[in-house]
Structure 1
Amino acid sequence: MIRNVIFDFGAVLFEWNPHHIVNSFTTSQPEREILLRDVLQHSDWLSLDRGTMLIAEVIPKFSARTQIPSQRIEDFITHIQLSLTKIRQTEILFNQLTQQPYSLYYLTNMCSAFFDTLYEKHHFISFFDGGLVSGKELVMKPEQEIFMRLCERYQLTPQESLFIDDNSENIQIASALGFNTIQFNQTQTCFQQIEKQLLPH
């Protein structure tokens, strides 16, 4: 019996496509490659998500490493935040679930500044019953700790919870901990699978 539904944010509720993000920021192929490799795929970005570094700290580090001026890096980070647009179909699904007797939670790897921006911008986030943001917790998926913390904080039983995430590693860990899981992608089949499990027929 599913009582709780837990959503990831990036690539589930909000668009998150690193290649698209860099391609829409610059037409320069060398700059695209640098931003992808040395910013979005760099361990400093993970530190940002984990909350062990702040945006103000990573900008000069990214700038020094890439030789891209810090103002340009700052513009890129603003661009990233603007790229986090809602995935309309997931929002519709979420709104349908608010009419059902489920408790709704989020579990996302994201720096707290990004989360706060999204929270201010998107009214629907306030309809969640709660959730954890890695940048505020200093732990992140796929570490077991963040899943256990979610359960402890909101008294959730994994067997009564459905976890929806696009990342296979996160899904594997959640499954191993006893959660029901759906690995998300933006296909009709995936939405139908979720609806079949959660919405009355």
Structure 2
Amino acid sequence: MSGPSPIPVFDIGQVLLRWDPKGALARHFPETAALEAFMAEVGFMEWHAHQDAGRPVAEGVADHAARYPHHGPVFAAFYEDWLEAIPGEVDGTRAIFEGLAARGPVYGISNFSRELFDRTLPSHPFLGRFSGLVLSGDVGINKPDPRIYARLCEGFGLRPGDCLFIDDSQRNVEGARAVGMDAVLFTDAPSLSLALQARGLSW
């Protein structure tokens, strides 16, 4: 590849850290069918996305407990047991991330509540190695809204065409490409390694 190497921009959930909300809910619903029914009934992922976009956790819990009072304790317990929803690192990507960070700047864009990120960081301190990080909870915008990619570039003096965005969501990858970034759909660390090497990045 000719020209300078791109600047890597990582997502966090399902790229660097595993994200499994069912893991923090399973003790309330021993049967899988009951857990799936609960998540569908309350629109769980859509509800959680509001916290990712900056709504305080306590407000989100109170709102949904009022809507679904029979599930009220579950909403509160989910965030009390937050780290159970993050059962570890995605195999292999921390080594890539840290290797890149040792050689140059590495940035991040993640749909992540600031409250919950701050609870997560002590257990995974390598996330403190970002040269710059845009959390949806800080800016009130979730991916793939084009404004969140712009916030990264404007905030850290980057040009979209110089960035390589890495995310496990096709929608978010397409959002990055729409604003002029190169992007890789993450599936696993070996495939990411090959994609980075093809673009002149090593660690």
**Bin for the TM-score computed over the shorter chain:** 0.7 to 0.9
Correspondence 1:40 to 2:44: yes
Once residues 116 and 133 of structure 1 are traced to their aligned partners in structure 2, the CA distance between those partners, rounded to angstroms, is 11
Amino acid at match of 1:61: D
**Which residue among 156, 172, 183 is the counterpart of 2:158?**
156
Once residues 124 and 110 of structure 2 are traced to their aligned partners in structure 1, the CA distance between those partners, rounded to angstroms, is 16
Correspondence 1:89 to 2:61: no
Distance 1:69 1:36, change over 3 A: closer
Amino acid at match of 2:185: Q
Matched residue, 1:8 = 11
Distance 1:131 1:187, change over 3 A: closer
Amino acid at match of 2:53: R
- Kindly report which structure 2 residues correspond to 1:167-186, keeping only aligned pairs within 5 A, or say none: 167-186=169-188
| Structure 2 counterpart SS, 1:99 | helix
Correspondence 1:28 to 2:31: yes
Amino acid at match of 1:176: A
Q: CA RMSD in A?
A: 2.3
Report the Cα offset of residue 127 of structure 1: 1.2
Distance 1:24 1:64, change over 3 A: same
- Kindly report which structure 2 residues correspond to 1:1-201, keeping only aligned pairs within 5 A, or say none: 1-19=4-22, 22-23=25-26, 26-29=29-32, 31-37=34-40, 38-42=42-46, 44-51=47-54, 53-84=55-86, 85-100=88-103, 102-186=104-188, 188-197=190-199, 198-199=201-202
Report the Cα offset of residue 196 of structure 1: 4.2
Report the Cα offset of residue 80 of structure 1: 3.9
Report the Cα offset of residue 66 of structure 1: 3.4
Over the matched positions of the two proteins, sequence identity in percent amounts to 24
Deviations 1:52-97 (A, max 9, x none): x211111122223334453332222233433222224111111111
Distance 1:191 1:20, change over 3 A: farther
Distance 1:70 1:126, change over 3 A: same
> Where do 5+ consecutive residues of structure 1 fail to align?
none
Once residues 175 and 133 of structure 1 are traced to their aligned partners in structure 2, the CA distance between those partners, rounded to angstroms, is 19
In 2, are the aligned partners of 1:7 and 1:105 still within 8 Å (CA)? yes
Once residues 194 and 79 of structure 1 are traced to their aligned partners in structure 2, the CA distance between those partners, rounded to angstroms, is 35
| Structure 1 counterpart SS, 2:180 | coil
Once residues 107 and 13 of structure 2 are traced to their aligned partners in structure 1, the CA distance between those partners, rounded to angstroms, is 14
| Structure 1 counterpart SS, 2:126 | helix
Once residues 199 and 14 of structure 1 are traced to their aligned partners in structure 2, the CA distance between those partners, rounded to angstroms, is 21
Amino acid at match of 2:138: K
Once residues 157 and 24 of structure 1 are traced to their aligned partners in structure 2, the CA distance between those partners, rounded to angstroms, is 46
Once residues 94 and 25 of structure 1 are traced to their aligned partners in structure 2, the CA distance between those partners, rounded to angstroms, is 35
> Where do 5+ consecutive residues of structure 2 fail to align?
none
Distance 1:26 1:192, change over 3 A: farther
| Structure 1 counterpart SS, 2:154 | helix
Amino acid at match of 1:183: L
Amino acid at match of 1:48: Q
Distance 1:191 1:17, change over 3 A: farther
Once residues 130 and 184 of structure 1 are traced to their aligned partners in structure 2, the CA distance between those partners, rounded to angstroms, is 20
In 2, are the aligned partners of 1:34 and 1:66 still within 8 Å (CA)? no
Report the Cα offset of residue 47 of structure 1: 1.6
Amino acid at match of 2:136: S
In 1, are the aligned partners of 2:91 and 2:189 still within 8 Å (CA)? no
